[in-house]
Structure 1
């Protein structure tokens, strides 16, 4: 006996996001960061100030891959819930990543950040300078992955949808 099955609701097609840009910048000093190239580049221009930015797109289903170039520094690359605005942590000197609920991703060359908490036992340590990264948001399986395209180092994590409700957005700091 054969049965027809409904089509799968999970996508296997990876959508390359080529028009993502930063639109909302968070910092305690307006002169600490600049958006360049029509929002495609976030630059911290003042030392000793934490900076964070949200991407323009919202993601709720499917698989999306965003390529990000890091020229220098130790940035955070990841996601957060669009409905939960970033707030600086008074316990971590004003960081928008640490102790910040709804934040998932990687502080490059340091650690994974899961719901604002450091998980320093991440398997891979990625080199930050002059590298291209592919950040893949798999909304259907609730997973994030990061690949350093220069070295092929990669890391992956599960996302708790209760801590990071849809829609997600790109989060950089």
Structure 2
């Protein structure tokens, strides 16, 4: 039985002629003339949409292989680097300028002090009025000026040690050395020079002095010169909480934190030899910096001769504020001077 032409599929293009060919891709029917046109259209799409894209992608790939620095993400990295360098340079420039401002005042003060010493020397020479004690005093003043000119204690450069910071921020601060004096607590010990020269007596045993000041906030830098270490090298540089009981063996007192001879480190009154790599290197004529950082709950001990430096973290639940400085001497003849 023959089918009516009205029931046969029509060409998807013209809609008039009977569709004699079915495209496997789009499942549409086309007449003979439009079937060829449909294939030509597919060929054009192949050339324009696929092959052209392929060629462009191949060209881009070849360019990235030859010149990876032109990659868009590389440009982002370069821009990050540029902006970061600009920020670092700005901070560095501001810090340099602040340093120049501070050091200018510092050097002017040194000039004034040096002029004063020169006048004293000229007057003493002209009048032939000087003795050994005067010479030693002038030498001491000049040595102090020399040290302070090269490594001024009033100028501090800090690096932010925030672990979340990729690059530590640098800053500079100015502040006077702490004007501190010490008072006798226990043992055979003598304090002279308005509380700044500490001397152990002739008997062997623990002898203590304590700072008159107490500390609860800020950073505080103290500088000591060991004028004589005695027959041994045991001196304890430490802090204690204000309310802690003090005995001759202060190193074992709860709340005591600090460093002593024989590689001893004291943490809440407990000795931990060699803690954090600490090695005793105290000798006669050595100058030691003892820093209290209340804000970060840290102590720092630095030997200016050997440049060794050690830090301790303070557990304020065990050593609450305010803090005192405790210096404990043991050997006869040990003499320690606090420098302004």
TM-score, with length taken from structure 1: 0.80
- Greater relative CO, 1 or 2 (CA 8 Å, sep 6+): 1
* Separation in structure 2 between the aligned mates of residue 137 and residue 13 of structure 1, nearest angstrom: 16
**Counterpart position of 1:77:** 237
Q: C-alpha separation between the residues in 2 aligned to 1:42 and 1:87? A: 18
Kept after mapping to 1: 8 A contact 2:182/2:196: yes
Change (3 A) 1:85 1:124: same
Which of 319, 325, 334 is 1:170 aligned to? 325
Larger Rg: 2
- Once the two structures are superposed, residues 113-164 of structure 1 have per-residue CA deviations (whole angstroms, 9 ceiling, x without a partner) of 1111111032131321121111111101100010001111011010011221
CA deviations over 1:33-79 (Å, ceiling 9, x no partner):
10111111211113222111110111100111100112314210121
User: Structure 1: which 5+ residue stretches go unaligned?
Assistant: 1-11, 89-94
Task: Call closer, same or farther: CA 1:157–1:14 in 2, change over 3 Å.
Answer: farther
Give the alignment's Cα RMSD to 1 decimal.
1.8
Superposition deviation, residue 13 in structure 1:
4.7
Q: TM-score, normalised by structure 2?
A: 0.42
CA distance in 2, matches of 1:107, 1:172: 10
1:43 alignment partner, SS class: strand
- 8 Å contact from structure 1 (residues 60, 167) kept in 2: yes
Label 1:74 to 1:14 Cα distance change in 2 as closer, same or farther (>3 A).
farther
> Are 1:105 and 2:258 counterparts?
yes
SS in 1 for 2:194: helix
| Structure having the larger proportion of residues in helix | 2
Tell me what 2:268 maps to: 115
Alpha-carbon distance change, 15 to 58 in structure 1, aligned in 2, over 3 angstroms = farther
**Corresponding residue for 1:131?**
286
Could you say if the C-alpha distance between residues 101 and 36 of structure 1 is closer, same or farther in structure 2, counting changes exceeding 3 Å? Answer: same
- Against the structure 1 CA distance between its residues 61 and 171, is the aligned structure 2 distance closer, same or farther, given a 3 Å change threshold? same
**What are the ranges of 5 or more consecutive residues in structure 2 without an aligned counterpart?**
1-171, 329-340
For 2:205, the equivalent position in structure 1 comes to 49
2:296 to 125, 141, 152: 141
Q: How does 1:5-16 map to 2 (within 5 A)?
A: 13=173, 15-16=175-176
**1:3 — aligned with what?**
none
Structure number with the higher strand fraction is 1
Aligned length: 151
